[in-house]
Structure formats: C-alpha cells, structure tokens
Structure 1
Amino acid sequence: MTFETLCKQVAHLLDEPEATISETENLLDRGLDSIRMMSLVESWRQDGVEVDFITLAENPTLSHWWELISSAKRHA
C-alpha cells in the first residue's frame, strides 16, 4: 500500500480524477459515504492493514488516513 494507491482507491470510489482531490479535503463532504468507507476498511484489512471505520470517520482526509495506514503497517 502506498499513498498513491490510497489516492487511486478513493478517487475510484468517488468516480473523480485523483488530481482533483486534495490531501486535506474532507472526503465525506466530497461525497464518500459510510458504505464506501467500509469497503476501503475491508480491502485494507485483507492487505493486512488494521484500521477501523470510526477512526477514519473522525478525520476523513487522505493525509490523515495515510498516517493511520502507515502507522498500522509499522505495527503489523
């Protein structure tokens, strides 16, 4: 998992070009809903990255999510 992969996954779920999504933009305001967020959580868990929905929802930005994923990968 890389930051680029994260951006691609989110852009795909939003059906938007990656370049139009800011690292600090609230993804919920952008249209990412809870069902799509849960699909990300499940996908990441299958890749061995343990994150939870509540933590993602507290600060729904690419930059924060990358911090969480990076931290989870270091502790795995």
Structure 2
Amino acid sequence: MTDVFDHAAELEQQERERALNEQARRANLTGKTLADSAEFCDDCGDNIPLKRRKAMPGFVRCISCQSRQERRGKR
C-alpha cells in the first residue's frame, strides 16, 4: 500500500514542478524569439509546426498537448 502512496506523491511532485516551470516560462514570454521555442513537444515529442513557433515564441508543447494541459488545469 505504501508503494501506491509513494508513487502518487511522486506524480504530484512532478506535476507541481511542471506547473511551476510553466508559470515561470509564461512570466518570461515577453521578448521571446523563435529560437526560444521548442522544435519538438516536451510532452509527446511531435514536431511543433514552424507557424506555431513563429506565432507564439517560447512554447514547448504542440497544440494538442497544450490544449490538454490547459483543460487539466481548469478541473
């Protein structure tokens, strides 16, 4: 039973760190350039289209993963 709780605590810590990193990244979006954008999604590894990287410099997720992340945050 302890293993389940340890695993849950570890997942919670990882999600907390991701959320904090995301918030820090959003706070620093001003002045970002195309070079600051990820070419591949941090979550799924798919290519992030150049059009998206140009439109929103600094993103590290593809549209699908970013949308999923934002929906998760609204729960």
More helix by share: 1
TM bucket, shorter chain: 0.3 to 0.5
TM-score by length of 2: 0.35
TM-score by length of 1: 0.35
Which structure has the larger Rg? Answer: 2
